[in-house]
Amino acid sequence: MNAIISASELVDELAGAHPPVLLDVRWQLSTVKAAGAPPFDGRAEYEAGHLPGAVYVDLDRELASAPGANGRHPLPDMAEFGAAMRRAGVSQGRPVVVYDGGQGWAAARAWWLLSWTGHPNVRVLDGGLTAWEAPLSTEVPTPAEGDFTPAPGAAGLLDADRAAALARSGVLFDARAGERYRGEVEPIDRVGGHIPGAVSAPTTANVAADGRFLPAEELRARFTSLGATEDGAVGVYCGSGVSGAHEVLALAVAGIPAALYVGSWSEWSSDPDRPVAVGPEPQ
């Protein structure tokens, strides 16, 4: 099963006998805003125009729990997540396609959560809303209640200890920008740097200028050059488990399974007892 779908393929599927459920997960990282600049409002963006039939999903409220000791975007409560997905019409036996504004990070977070909790057929619209050329809709649908019940998997999820161990025994990718990995700047978290042993692999290098993923063979070549193998243990982290999900998605496109450290740097760096490496080398 492919992890991504093109806009033209989605048009065909929506016109078919068994169209997928569409989830709109538009979101942007909230950092310090310039004076007077309004915060990004994903729901307002959705209401101004979305793929026909799509249901809005709030990343901060439905795909994560409240920020705290476990990071800025900890795992959501599974009962609440399941209820949100059922309200959106998600059922076990019906395909799901997720999209966002084009960056792909938020859509990948939804893809990862649904996949990790047992949904068998979830894909991300490659290139997001910017790749969609058909008309948009302002009609807010009321889907029939779905039947999806999350069943978290035993694999695919890392905590801080397992991430630290994987950085030494396998490959742990840091999906943040290189300057954050090196500790040169840190705009959000307590301290800059990276988990000792982690390899810098910014997720922005997995896509072309239009936001679409690079071809699978190019992604595979990139990740293997950084030490990943199809049979070896691979993990990913980022700032708070959002852009890292996008890298897990890129690895899936490349045919390389990977686990996600959801707490990521926002959790790791909050504990002053955890070691921090700086500079361009994993150490």
Positions marked catalytic: 238
According to DSSP, the β-strands at 171-174 and 157-158 are unpaired
Write the CB contacts of 162 (distance below 8 Å, at least 6 apart in sequence): 235, 259, 261
What sign results for the dihedral spanned by CA atoms 81, 85, 91, 94?
A: negative
The DSSP bridge partners found for residue 128 are: none
The closest of 1, 26, 4, 223 to 105, measured between CA atoms, is: 26
Instruction: Tell me what percent of the chain is helix, strand and coil, each rounded to the nearest 5.
Output: 30, 15, 55
What sign results for the dihedral spanned by CA atoms 266, 267, 270, 271?
A: negative
HSE-CB for 161 with a 13 A CA cutoff: 0
What sign results for the dihedral spanned by CA atoms 256, 195, 81, 32?
A: negative
DSSP state of 198: -
